[in-house]
Structure 1
């Protein structure tokens, strides 16, 4: 398998999804702004979304894919299909029960995760109602995650990468055409999540049937592979839940801040999801099955070389994104969101969150690359230990930024402290994962890192200077019309990108240097 081509496929389809995701957020900002309705929906959708990451894409994938790769490499098709049947049945039943509980217990969940909403009965009741509609999303997406794990193991990356497009299309369609027909228009967004989840699951069925891995009902834990997955899922669930608990705690903190804080953080997070999905998630997706296969084959040299390739690609593409979002925080927020109900004050509030999120972008993406190296070795406990340290650091930083320091003295709004805590803790987590891989001799950096880093720093410095002077005055972005912003932003980003890649080319970087087979 050519890793660079797989990365291009996944990144390309993810790019389409992220573009549609931005269109979705632009429409939501234009129609609903940043206030009670968007706060309510963001909290309602965050709950099932976090549980989906916990039970499906996170803990499940980390435990399932390495063992599925081992079965495929060492056992026959029949045993592998049986494993898929039994795991799919068990996972489906668990998340179905959780979905039902979530629908029934919606008010108590809102009390636990966004207690500040209780002081506004209308906001609280709306959030609970939205939660009841969105909660079945966890069932749909858990089964989608299982399908993605199987398809990625068979190097069928296109369908899992395209799947999120359907969700964004549902949001766009419901916001444009269905919202006006609801007594409470924001309800259309909740139904978009429900319908989008069902469509994403339906898309997997033909792809799984084509490779002969469409699951059938088979309730049993007798298979040793199922037992191994369950044993790995224990610490894996704890490890993933650490990140989700951190996000829930941050949401609880934000619910006590001024109205709009949750929405401002969400809009900034949407921009962060662009590079995180295109680069971090894409690299993690192709590295986990590849590294798992090499571990099963005892190919230590190939394992280290593949991970080294992933780290260099990640830094080469992530570092300029981080600098670009720092310098262009206001232009990006103003161009994409400042329309209709979303005002200049919302742009500046979103800018505070985006600036502080950007500080940790490299760390957030490196975690998505380094952690799969442990999972591929069926070592879940080490990332769990580091995640617990990261969680502790996040909450200590939250206390520091919200109650000890006044971020207004640094030109930031209070909610930016929550984003900064996540950024700094993610950087710490990445550093611990890197050190752990070195200590267990799973990874040995290849020669040339010093020269690579020096050239990279020079290129992003040149780009940063070009962006800073090209963007002009902040007030222009807040006052000019949408067409001016679009054209100016395109020109500024084009100039920055040209400066960056031209500098890399002048320093000797070539595309062929980053091709990789696995």
Structure 2
């Protein structure tokens, strides 16, 4: 398998997902702006979305894929199918139970995670209703995560990468065609999340049937809980919740803090978060997706050189693409926010305030993406304890930084974004140190020269981006959408060409990054 080609394929699907996601957010901003009801939807969706990342895509995937790969490579198809049936049964029924608890306990949950909404009782009630409607999304997405783990192990990456597009299309359709007909328009978004979850789940069935791995969900999960493979996965999942999701837990805490700041703070942070997630998903998530099954196979085969070489390839690509992305977010924050969201009810103040946390996020973007590249190196070896210890320490450090940046330095929501980014950098540093100390990863020659060339190219690109951004009155061009979009596309495209042109002049060639997995 050509890893670079596979990465490009996954990234193209992710790009489609992110483009539709940005269109979704742009329409959302235009229709709903940044206010109490917008905050209510974001808060309502954040809890089920967090649990999805914790249990479905996070801890579950990292524990499930290495063990599934082990079964596939050493025990044969029958045992592997047997494992997927039992795992699917436990996962689906447990998330159905969690969904029921969430629906019943929604008032208490909203009270705890967004106490600031109490100042607007109608918005608080809206958040409760939307939470109750969206909680089943956890169960839908748990099946999607199970299917994604199976398909990725079979090196079928396109469907899992495309799946999020369906949710974006549902949210876009709800904003355009459903919201205008509802007494409370924001409810259309919650309805779209519910429908989108069902569609994403349905999309997984045909490819699973094609490879003969559609899980059979049993009525009695107690039998599945006694399966040896399931017990191993559950044992890994417990601590993996902390290791994989430290940033997500911090984000939930940040939501509570932001809800107590100025009205609109939750929304400003969320719009910045959406743009930060664009490069994170296209590179970090895509790399982690293809590295985990390949690393798990190398571990099963006891091929230590292949293991280290795969990591080196992943880290070089991370630096190559994450560094210019971080520079671009920092220098083009206001143009990006203006072009994507500065319409309708999303006013000048919202655009300026949303750009601030985006700049703060850029300081830690490299760390955020590195964590997604380095963490699979531990999970592929079924080592959960090391990332857990690191994650707990980083979570504590992030909260200390929250207090310092938000209340000490008075950075408000920018301080929350900065604490997430710097926390991720600390996390990545400890993960890297652990890999080196244990001899799991040995860097190949040429890294310092590689750093130097990247610094030159990123510096040239950053200077050009900053200068170009000053030449256009982005906020004043609100009524000239086509001109503003054209200016941003030209600036971003020109900076990208300049960055890679400088790298080419310094000796970089595409063939140097080609890589095949065994």
Please give the TM-score of this superposition, normalised by the length of structure 1. Answer: 0.97
- Does 2:33 align with 1:36? no
Q: Distance in 2 between matches of 1:184 and 1:405?
A: 38
- Does 2:503 align with 1:499? no
Call closer, same or farther: CA 1:317–1:241 in 2, change over 3 Å: closer
Q: CA deviation at 1:318?
A: 0.7
Aligned to 1:410: none
Aligned to 2:357: 353
Contact 2:36–2:117 under 8 Å retained in 1: no
Q: Distance in 2 between matches of 1:238 and 1:431?
A: 17
Aligned to 1:439: 437
Q: Distance in 1 between matches of 2:242 and 2:358?
A: 28
Picking from 425, 428, 452, the partner of 2:426 is: 428
Q: Distance in 2 between matches of 1:320 and 1:245?
A: 27
Q: Distance in 2 between matches of 1:438 and 1:131?
A: 44
- Does 2:135 align with 1:135? yes
Q: CA deviation at 1:242?
A: 3.3
Contact 2:258–2:265 under 8 Å retained in 1: yes
Q: Distance in 2 between matches of 1:185 and 1:57?
A: 30
Aligned to 1:513: 512
- Does 2:119 align with 1:122? no
CA deviations on 1:87-112 (whole Å, 9 max, x unpaired) are 00000110000001111111100011
Q: CA deviation at 1:453?
A: 0.5
- Does 2:22 align with 1:18? no
CA deviations on 1:233-261 (whole Å, 9 max, x unpaired) are 11112323533321111111011001100
Aligned to 1:479: 476
Q: CA deviation at 1:473?
A: 4.6
Q: Distance in 2 between matches of 1:484 and 1:16?
A: 23
- Does 2:291 align with 1:290? no
Q: CA deviation at 1:380?
A: 0.7
Contact 2:247–2:420 under 8 Å retained in 1: no
Q: Distance in 2 between matches of 1:321 and 1:403?
A: 29
Q: How does 1:261-280 map to 2 (within 5 A)?
A: 261-280=265-284
Contact 2:284–2:372 under 8 Å retained in 1: yes
- Does 2:233 align with 1:234? no
Q: Distance in 2 between matches of 1:112 and 1:299?
A: 48
**Unpaired segments of 5 or more residues in structure 2?**
none
Contact 2:137–2:194 under 8 Å retained in 1: yes
Q: Distance in 1 between matches of 2:22 and 2:143?
A: 25
Q: Distance in 1 between matches of 2:163 and 2:307?
A: 29
Give 3-state SS (helix, strand or coil) of 1:477's partner. Answer: coil
Aligned to 2:320: 316
Picking from 341, 347, 351, the partner of 1:343 is: 347
CA deviations on 1:415-461 (whole Å, 9 max, x unpaired) are 11100110111111000100010011100000000111100000000
Contact 2:62–2:379 under 8 Å retained in 1: yes
Q: CA deviation at 1:31?
A: 0.4
Q: Which 10-residue stretch deviates more, 389-398 or 481-490?
A: 481-490
Q: CA deviation at 1:224?
A: 1.8
Q: Distance in 1 between matches of 2:306 and 2:104?
A: 50
Q: CA deviation at 1:336?
A: 0.7
Q: Distance in 2 between matches of 1:469 and 1:230?
A: 53
Aligned to 2:67: 67
CA deviations on 1:128-182 (whole Å, 9 max, x unpaired) are 0111111111110011000000000000001000100100000001110011111
CA deviations on 1:162-212 (whole Å, 9 max, x unpaired) are 100100000001110011111111100001000000000000011101000
- Does 2:417 align with 1:419? yes
Q: Which 10-residue stretch deviates more, 481-490 or 8-17?
A: 481-490
Across the two proteins, how many residue pairs are aligned to each other?
A: 511
- Does 2:377 align with 1:376? no
Q: Distance in 2 between matches of 1:388 and 1:7?
A: 31
Q: CA deviation at 1:339?
A: 0.5
Give 3-state SS (helix, strand or coil) of 1:478's partner. Answer: coil
Q: Distance in 1 between matches of 2:239 and 2:70?
A: 20
Q: Distance in 2 between matches of 1:256 and 1:239?
A: 28
Picking from 318, 324, 331, the partner of 1:327 is: 331
